[in-house]
């Protein structure tokens, strides 16, 4: 069978494409290369440049490559932008998903994996977050992921398509430097960026009810995340698997912002002390995903450490910012 990976030239998509091809799966990528980079893809992966929301193109790819499963990663993903441009997020992340689902179901696809996010939970007041936690997203990005999950499940039921929604926690690291995230939207690249410019990393609030007072998040290595996609795809390909599964992809452990900055200082050798600024509105003290369901249903657990994530992310950062390596 062939898997269509939408957004496969992106940061996570390229890791998924690599993991799946390395495991012997046949893969074709559709990516419009807005934030993706074709050179991230292994040479033997076919890349079709175009929009995953273009029904005609997707139908042609499904027919030409005999696609029987889809891993859908293509999406806008910036929380701040989603607040400023909610229509864009609803139109592409949700409206586009409706078009994609209709098209691939019509083309005979009966397996679908959807990139969801821990953003669906909002800021629950709980230590570790199981999948049964009521979802209450706090921004349009998270809303489109939650509504996307509803749509994926409904579409699966309507068309007899087995579906899996993967709720990623904080993704970081790189399997190799050239595959690293090029965006500066998450805490690790944001700290790298400050250090590279000779500025102190910022901590937003150190008076949270956590051991060191800074917020705790669940960081998952992108190579582990890619293996979770492979596990999800293989589960869906098993005879007799039907229905839907919605599962956290995290480590079950948290790291605080202060711990993260300390490890970044050790790895980079740049020991600029952090400055503490006021809390940002809407930041939960702690967001760590429960992992039991992923272990039970996918046979998957994360194996890489926060240090692995930081070391590999820093190697990728230095590749693009040679001035950083000179420190
Ligand atoms: N990075 C994270 O921490 C994180 C966390 C939770 C969920 N996610 C989700 O994972 C997915 C991938 O995120 P990423 O970090 O790899 O982002 P990314 O921007 O690196 O990758 C997205 C890819 O999709 C492509 N793309 C965008 N719109 C497209 C379209 N209409 N048609 C075809 N291709 C299109 C881009 O060119 C890019 O290659 C997204 O759905 C995102 O919401 C990411």
Domain enclosing residue 82, as ranges: 2-171+220-249
Same-domain check for residues 23 and 122: yes
pLDDT at 324: 87
Q: Catalytic annotation on 89?
A: no
Same-domain check for residues 133 and 214: no
Same-domain check for residues 213 and 227: no
Q: Is the CB of 115 under 6 A from ligand 1?
A: yes
Residue with tokens 């960026």: 193
Beta strands 255-256 and 216-217, pairing class: antiparallel
CATH number of the domain enclosing 95: 3.40.50.720
What's the total number of domains in the chain? 2
Same-domain check for residues 196 and 309: yes
Same-domain check for residues 187 and 282: yes
Of the three residues 233, 249, 265, the one that is the final residue of a domain is: 249
Q: Is the CB of 32 under 6 A from ligand 1?
A: yes
Q: Is the CB of 6 under 6 A from ligand 1?
A: yes
32, two tokens: 């419009």
Q: Is the CB of 33 under 6 A from ligand 1?
A: yes
Alpha-carbon span 153 to 132, nearest angstrom: 16
pLDDT at 126: 81
Instruction: Supply the residue whose CA is at minimum distance from atom 3 of ligand 1.
Output: 171
Same-domain check for residues 312 and 233: no
Same-domain check for residues 157 and 302: no
Same-domain check for residues 65 and 213: no
Same-domain check for residues 240 and 260: no
pLDDT at 281: 85
Q: How many CA atoms lie within 13 A of 159 on its CB side?
A: 22
CA of 78 to the centre of ligand 1 (A): 10
pLDDT at 146: 98
DSSP string, 64-84: HHTEEEEEE------HHHHHH
Q: Is the CB of 36 under 6 A from ligand 1?
A: yes
Same-domain check for residues 57 and 191: no
Helix, strand, coil share (%) of the chain residues, nearest 5: 45, 20, 35
Q: Is the CB of 184 under 6 A from ligand 1?
A: no
CA of 10 to the centre of ligand 1 (A): 6
Length of the chain: 327
Same-domain check for residues 146 and 199: no
Q: Tell which residue, 63, 58, 68, 1, has the closest CA to residue 29.
A: 58
What does DSSP assign to residue 95? I
CA of 324 to the centre of ligand 1 (A): 26
Residue 69 CA from chain centroid, whole number: 19
Which stretches of the chain drop beneath a pLDDT of 50?
none
CATH number of the domain enclosing 283: 3.90.25.10
Catalytic residue among 141, 168, 208, 219: 141
Name the residue of 6, 8, 10 to mutate for ligand 1: max ligand atoms within 8 A of Cβ: 10
288, two tokens: 């760590």
CA of 116 to the centre of ligand 1 (A): 11
Q: Is the CB of 48 under 6 A from ligand 1?
A: no
CA of 34 to the centre of ligand 1 (A): 10
Name the residue of 75, 189, 223, 224 to mutate for ligand 1: max ligand atoms within 8 A of Cβ: 75
DSSP string, 268-282: HS--PPPEEEPPPTT
The answer to whether 110 and 125 are in contact (CB under 8 A) is: no
Q: What's the pTM value of the predicted model, to 2 decimals?
A: 0.97
Of the three residues 249, 265, 290, the one that is the final residue of a domain is: 249
Alpha-carbon span 29 to 40, nearest angstrom: 12
- pLDDT by residue (tens digit) across 47-72? 999 999 999 999 999 999 999 999 99
Same-domain check for residues 177 and 268: yes
């Amino acid at each position: 069978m062939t898997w269509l990976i939408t957004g496969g030239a992106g940061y996570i998509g390229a890791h998924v494409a690599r993991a799946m091809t390395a495991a012997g799966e046949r893969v074709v990528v559709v990516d419009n290369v807005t934030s993706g980079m074709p050179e991230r893809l292994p040479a033997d992966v076919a890349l079709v440049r175009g929009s995953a929301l273009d029904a005609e193109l997707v139908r042609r790819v499904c027919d030409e490559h005999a696609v029987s499963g889809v891993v859908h990663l293509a999406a806008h993903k910036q929380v701040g932008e989603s607040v400023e441009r909610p229509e864009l997020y609803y139109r592409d992340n949700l409206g586009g998903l409706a078009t994609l689902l209709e098209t691939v179901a019509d083309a005979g696809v009966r397996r679908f994996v959807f990139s969801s996010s821990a953003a669906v939970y909002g800021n629950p007041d709980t230590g570790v977050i199981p999948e049964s936690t009521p979802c209450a997203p706090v921004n349009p990005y998270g809303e489109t992921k939650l509504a996307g999950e509803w749509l994926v499940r409904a579409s699966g039921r309507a068309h007899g398509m087995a579906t899996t929604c993967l709720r990623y926690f904080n993704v970081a690291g790189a399997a190799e430097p050239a595959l690293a995230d090029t965006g500066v939207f998450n805490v690790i690249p944001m700290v790298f960026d400050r250090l590279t410019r000779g500025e102190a990393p910022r901590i937003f609030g150190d008076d949270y009810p956590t051991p060191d007072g800074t917020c705790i998040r669940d960081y998952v290595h992108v190579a582990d995340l890619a293996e979770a996609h492979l596990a999800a795809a293989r589960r869906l390909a098993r005879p007799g698997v039907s229905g839907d599964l919605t599962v956290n992809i995290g480590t079950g452990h948290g790291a605080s912002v202060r711990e993260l900055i300390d490890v970044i200082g050790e790895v980079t050798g740049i020991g600029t002390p952090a400055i503490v600024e006021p809390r940002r509105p809407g930041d939960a003290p702690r967001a760590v995903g429960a992992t039991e369901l992923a272990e039970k249903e996918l046979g998957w657990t994360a194996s890489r450490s926060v240090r692995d994530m930081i070391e590999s992310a820093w190697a990728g950062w230095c590749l693009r910012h040679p001035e950083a390596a000179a420190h």
